[in-house]
């Protein structure tokens, strides 16, 4: 027995299959998996970037094609939190912008600035949701990939 205290679940993969609705209908990840300890869910941004050959990053979010069926999706700072609310994650990661390497200094700066913008948007949204009684026991954390030029 591993006696794991926490499990990392991937938002991108869980969002596409089995879907956030299915997980929510089970009472979140804890009910879906019968794991009674903590769950950390990433934002899914890295997978949207790396698994979709045609992902598009812009200030509103990341548009990507599913690697499963080719359907198009949009991850935004708010939508990835909504998905993680459905998962009832204990620790939720904020959406971050990634750059392909090599990257210019200008593109890395855009990525860092965009990630900060998304973090501010996510924090404001999370506070507003908590004021409505949603996500009370859920914590959000930022992540930044950075890059090299």
For the chain, 149 residues long, give each residue's pLDDT as a single digit of tens: 899 999 999 999 999 999 999 999 999 999 999 999 999 999 999 999 888 778 999 999 999 999 999 999 999 999 999 999 999 999 999 999 988 888 899 999 999 999 999 999 999 999 999 999 999 999 999 987 777 76
pTM of the model as a whole? 0.94
Residue 146 maps to a domain? no
Three-state helix/strand/coil letters over 42-62: CCCHHHHHHHCCCCEEECCEE
Residue 149 maps to a domain? no
Residue 1 maps to a domain? no
Is omega for the bond preceding 15 within 30 degrees of 0, making it cis?
Answer: no
Total domain count, the chain: 1
- Domain with 134, as residue range(s), is 6-141
| CATH number for 47 | 3.20.20.105
Residue 88 maps to a domain? yes
Report yes or no: 126 and 67 within 8 Å, Cβ to Cβ. Answer: no
Residue 19 maps to a domain? yes
Residue 113 maps to a domain? yes
Residue 33 maps to a domain? yes
């Amino acid at each position: 027995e591993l006696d794991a205290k926490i499990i990392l679940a991937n938002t991108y993969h869980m969002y596409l299959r089995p879907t956030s609705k299915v997980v929510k209908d089970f009472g979140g990840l804890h009910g879906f998996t019968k794991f009674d300890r903590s769950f950390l869910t990433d934002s899914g941004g890295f997978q949207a970037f790396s698994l979709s050959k045609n992902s598009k990053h812009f200030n509103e979010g990341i548009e990507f094609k599913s690697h499963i069926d080719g359907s198009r999706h949009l991850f935004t700072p708010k939508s990835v939190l909504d998905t993680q609310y459905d998962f009832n994650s204990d620790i939720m990661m904020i959406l971050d912008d990634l750059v392909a390497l090599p990257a210019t200094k200008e593109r890395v700066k855009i990525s860092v600035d965009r990630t900060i913008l998304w973090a501010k948007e996510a924090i404001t949204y999370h506070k507003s949701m908590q004021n409505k009684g949603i996500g009370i026991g859920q914590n959000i954390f930022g992540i930044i990939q950075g890059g090299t030029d």
